[in-house]
Structure 1
Amino acid sequence: MTYNKKIYPVVLCAGVGKRMRSNFPKVLHFVLDKPMLWWVLRSFRGLIDSEPIVVVGKNKDLVSQYFADEKISYVVQNEPLGTAHALLCAYESLKVLSEEDYFLVMPGDMPLIKQNTIKNLCEMSELNNDITFITCNVDDPKGYGRIVRDKNNNFLRIIEEKDAKNDELRINEINVGIYLIKIALLKLLYNIENVNAQGEYYLTDLLEIALKNGHKIGTMEIFDQKEILGVNSQKDLLEAQGVAKRSVIEVHLNNGVQIFDINSTWIGPEVSISSGAKIMPSSVIYGKSKIGSSTIGPFSNIENSTIGDNCNVFYSVIRNSIIGSNVSVGPFSHIREQTVIYDNIRIGNFVELKKTQIESNSKVSHLSYLGDTTVGSNVNIGAGTITCNYDGFDKHRTTIEDDVFVGSDSILVAPVKLSKGSMIAAGSVITRDVPEDSLGIGRASQVNKAGWVKVFKSMKTKKKK
């Protein structure tokens, strides 16, 4: 989206987050399957062309490592001296700026903020306010800075809760912590003092200073109290989880997906599910998964995988894989990374697949492990079959061509190839390639010893006497 003025998004993430009681950076705590910072970045993604500036503290390496694939400019605030100081660090990091452009300033711990809210705030740049910030009237303003207005309802200042007097504590209009600030005003950051209970440089003081210097201050009120939830504790995080979870599920319900139990179902924000799909209880679908008109669950976990239409996945785990249409998976199957399963396939109970490709109309029905394997079409893998793909040093591939029948309890020692139409006798250990239309047998010949049992039992009975 294009605005008349250039807007630079700045996300403040340098806070220590002591109330989280965690050694992990607060903004990397997950809401569903994404860290809080991801949700904040998403709120303006597609609205603003400028590369986001993320102000971090000593946690820079952890944050930048997670977002390594995204274009983000990181600025380090070495000491947590407050939000005004954090913004000053961002301001000083940019060499060339037009004073008529804007900074969009957001906290990194507000994962529920909606993109439409940020869009509306960015459009306020057309009003040519020097500063516009978001407010909200809430039922319980505890923990937030209060908006102090004059008798004519004009903005006067923001008072932080720890510095507020009793009458100010009764104010229900709070500062959300999201600002659109004209860059010309950022020079006033140098005038902010840390004379307060925390000994920090408050960004909220910039508004009062700007007002005294005759600058135009505007507010934008929003009405969804859940949207502005700031996560400062594990309890807050749990609340944010619940709101985000319900919001994502409602999108899929409205798109025609049948979800049988919203309390036990978890779906990530990047998941795509086709109309007509059925999501059974206790199912988790995360990452960039794409689900066709299929039945998932109960008790199934899908991550970063594509599943076609008319599939049934129950009591199973699928990760980083592609499943075609008309495929049955489970119960208790584990489809691991880089597995591709084509159409009309049965993957049965207690089957594990890794880096395996299976062509259409094949079956792996019971108690099998196939790793680093290529399976053709119309293949039957008998119960208890495993591919020995690792020799202690390297991984090797097994190739099973079309129309092959592998008997139960077979061991295929890679690298090995079973050519088209071949058969493997049950209980075989196959170490060499099997030619086309041939029977591979790799087991000792059976010997029947007549009367041996009677002699054996007699000997054992005599020893006990």
Structure 2
Amino acid sequence: MEVAIVILAAGKGTRMKSSRPKILHDLGGFPLYYHTLNTSQKLQPDRHLMITGDDKKQILTSLDRFDYDPEIVVQEQQLGTGHAVKCALDHLSGFDGMVVVLYGDTPFVRKETLVRLIAKTTKSKPISFLGFQTQNPGNYGRLILDDEETIARIIEHKDLQPGEEAITLCNSGIVCGKSGILRHLVAQLDTRNASGEYYLTDIAELAKRGNLGCSVTICAEEETIGINTQEDLALAEGVFQQNKRREMLENGVSLQSPETTFFSLDTDIHNDVVIEPNVFIGTGVKIKSGARIRAFTYLEGCIIGENSVIGPFTRVREGTTIGENCHIGNFVEIKMADIKAGTKASHLTYIGDAEIGENTNIGAGTIFCNYDGIHKHKTMIGNDSFIGSNTLLISPIKVGNNAMTAAGSVINKNVPDGALGISRSKQKNIEGFTKIRQSRK
């Protein structure tokens, strides 16, 4: 049977107290909605919809970063989850398959859980809600069962009666149903509740009245974490990092201080990598086997080769590839550079817009002057070369193979293979200057 995924993402998120739409806040370096989109795409759905509000343009701009291209449906008025699903079903006119309703602010639901949810949706029970047990139900709606797996009704938190707050089986909001049945039930929703909205959860009771079974699929509480406030987002980031650290350790990565190491959703680290304390890894980072990332290093958008040592106190920025057996040391910043095997930049250096060959040494204090105030320019350095300390390389420029620059030089002309580039004033010594100076005190 065909499957359509519907991601509800039209909520204003006022409790975030931010001008940015809630689902565009980052978790693990990626927008909240991306986590749901990425997981649901693994089901290979036939249709993929995202329901948005008046923030459609911002969401489309964000989506441009990624390969996914969901169908965007605008919910002109935010009249509740039931109304949002009605908008989706109207857009799915003619679709006769299974519809799975997810949320853009609920990022941890797993593919395996969604597979179970879909499998639980049968002829006799054509609607299935995702529920969870918790000792702290808070503001979640409660699931009232007829028997072990059949839902009689779902009560939103605002509508709970005395005694019902003690119920620990809660509704995640995620639901799966056959499209025809969903259309039939959603059409019957009304706004007679504490919020004056169309509650999607009311379809459970409507299904019971119509002699349609409504089942519950139980998942881990962690999968249902929703984000409504900045505090929720911070707590979710903590959960994400704990899960990612566990994944890294299980895959053979050594973390000397897991609690001070931070990853992104797409972090790719091979086994036998050692990561020292206080390391932040942004998006787009790949670290190959045997590398060591030393303390207080910040990585983003880069590839680190086998057996290379990065840090301490190093920043490697987007567009950088560092080959195997390289050493990038303390207080070095690199951006948009391709650095070949065996090359070293041990301290106090800026490398930007560069190609550096194999087994080259970049001396302390070297600056690649790549920006003229309008345009960026490239520096190219060959194999087996030596850049002396405190060299300024004025791009665009080429330094050949087995070439050198003298310490303290400002290099603005190409240096041929095997040559020494030197550009500095001739030293002049003033005899007796110290004695003359002291006599003036």
Once the two structures are superposed, residues 336-373 of structure 1 have per-residue CA deviations (whole angstroms, 9 ceiling, x without a partner) of 22222223322222222222223333322232222222
Once the two structures are superposed, residues 205-256 of structure 1 have per-residue CA deviations (whole angstroms, 9 ceiling, x without a partner) of 2232233233x22312415222222323333333323333222222222233
Aligned pair in 2 of structure 1 residues 411, 44: CA closer, same or farther (>3 Å)?
A: closer
Q: Which letter maps to 1:395?
A: K
Take 2:30 and 2:291, find their aligned partners in 1: how far apart are those partners? Answer: 29
Tell me which moved more, 111-120 or 316-325: 316-325
Aligned counterpart, 1:42 = 38
Once the two structures are superposed, residues 121-161 of structure 1 have per-residue CA deviations (whole angstroms, 9 ceiling, x without a partner) of 11124555321222333323331222234489853222222
Aligned pair in 2 of structure 1 residues 264, 13: CA closer, same or farther (>3 Å)?
A: same
Find the partner of 1:233 among 220, 224, 229. 229
Per-residue deviation, 1:72? 0.8
| Cα pair 1:51 1:71 within 8 Å, conserved | no
Find the partner of 1:51 among 38, 47, 52. 47
Aligned counterpart, 2:193 = 196
Q: How does 1:84-233 map to 2 (within 5 A)?
A: 84-98=82-96, 101-127=97-123, 129-150=125-146, 154-185=150-181, 186-214=183-211, 216-233=212-229
Find the partner of 2:427 among 446, 450, 465. 446
Once the two structures are superposed, residues 55-82 of structure 1 have per-residue CA deviations (whole angstroms, 9 ceiling, x without a partner) of 1112222222222231211111122101
Per-residue deviation, 1:333? 2.4
Q: Which letter maps to 2:60?
A: S
Take 2:113 and 2:126, find their aligned partners in 1: how far apart are those partners? Answer: 19
| Cα pair 1:147 1:158 within 8 Å, conserved | yes
Aligned pair in 2 of structure 1 residues 433, 240: CA closer, same or farther (>3 Å)?
A: closer
Once the two structures are superposed, residues 106-130 of structure 1 have per-residue CA deviations (whole angstroms, 9 ceiling, x without a partner) of 2222222222111101112455532
Aligned pair in 2 of structure 1 residues 361, 226: CA closer, same or farther (>3 Å)?
A: closer
Take 2:314 and 2:150, find their aligned partners in 1: how far apart are those partners? Answer: 63
| Cα pair 2:337 2:354 within 8 Å, conserved | yes
Per-residue deviation, 1:94? 2.5
Per-residue deviation, 1:104? 0.6
| Greater Rg over alpha carbons, structure | 1
Q: How does 1:265-304 map to 2 (within 5 A)?
A: 265-293=261-289
Q: Which letter maps to 1:163?
A: D
Aligned pair in 2 of structure 1 residues 150, 443: CA closer, same or farther (>3 Å)?
A: closer
Per-residue deviation, 1:10? 0.8
5+ long unaligned stretches in structure 2:
none
Question: Given the two structures, how large is their TM-score scaled by the length of structure 1?
Answer: 0.86
| Cα pair 1:8 1:102 within 8 Å, conserved | yes
Take 1:51 and 1:196, find their aligned partners in 2: how far apart are those partners? Answer: 32
Aligned pair in 2 of structure 1 residues 333, 439: CA closer, same or farther (>3 Å)?
A: same
Take 2:389 and 2:133, find their aligned partners in 1: how far apart are those partners? Answer: 68
| Cα pair 1:375 1:400 within 8 Å, conserved | yes
Secondary structure of 1:368 counterpart: strand
Aligned counterpart, 1:349 = 330
Per-residue deviation, 1:444? 2.2
Matched, 1:404 2:402: no
Aligned counterpart, 2:303 = 322
Per-residue deviation, 1:86? 0.5
Per-residue deviation, 1:391? 2.4
Aligned counterpart, 2:373 = 392
| Cα pair 1:44 1:119 within 8 Å, conserved | no
Aligned pair in 2 of structure 1 residues 284, 212: CA closer, same or farther (>3 Å)?
A: same
CA RMSD of aligned residues (A): 2.5
Take 2:362 and 2:163, find their aligned partners in 1: how far apart are those partners? Answer: 76
Secondary structure of 1:351 counterpart: strand
| Cα pair 2:401 2:418 within 8 Å, conserved | yes
Q: Which letter maps to 1:47?
A: L
| Cα pair 1:398 1:414 within 8 Å, conserved | yes
Secondary structure of 2:195 counterpart: coil
Secondary structure of 1:350 counterpart: strand
Take 2:147 and 2:379, find their aligned partners in 1: how far apart are those partners? Answer: 80
Per-residue deviation, 1:87? 0.6
Aligned pair in 2 of structure 1 residues 249, 127: CA closer, same or farther (>3 Å)?
A: farther
Aligned counterpart, 1:332 = 313
Once the two structures are superposed, residues 389-412 of structure 1 have per-residue CA deviations (whole angstroms, 9 ceiling, x without a partner) of 222332222222233333222222
Matched, 1:22 2:18: yes
State the number of aligned residues. 438
Secondary structure of 2:260 counterpart: coil
Aligned counterpart, 2:404 = 423
Aligned counterpart, 2:3 = 7
Take 2:77 and 2:51, find their aligned partners in 1: how far apart are those partners? Answer: 12
Per-residue deviation, 1:432? 1.9
Take 1:394 and 1:321, find their aligned partners in 2: how far apart are those partners? Answer: 22
Matched, 1:261 2:257: yes
Aligned counterpart, 2:247 = 251
Percent identity over paired residues: 36
Aligned pair in 2 of structure 1 residues 345, 67: CA closer, same or farther (>3 Å)?
A: same
Q: Which letter maps to 2:239?
A: V
Take 2:312 and 2:238, find their aligned partners in 1: how far apart are those partners? Answer: 29
Aligned pair in 2 of structure 1 residues 20, 374: CA closer, same or farther (>3 Å)?
A: closer
Once the two structures are superposed, residues 26-59 of structure 1 have per-residue CA deviations (whole angstroms, 9 ceiling, x without a partner) of 2223333233222222332222322321111122
Matched, 1:64 2:45: no
Secondary structure of 2:239 counterpart: helix
Aligned pair in 2 of structure 1 residues 254, 170: CA closer, same or farther (>3 Å)?
A: same
| Cα pair 2:26 2:32 within 8 Å, conserved | yes
Secondary structure of 1:372 counterpart: strand
Secondary structure of 1:365 counterpart: strand
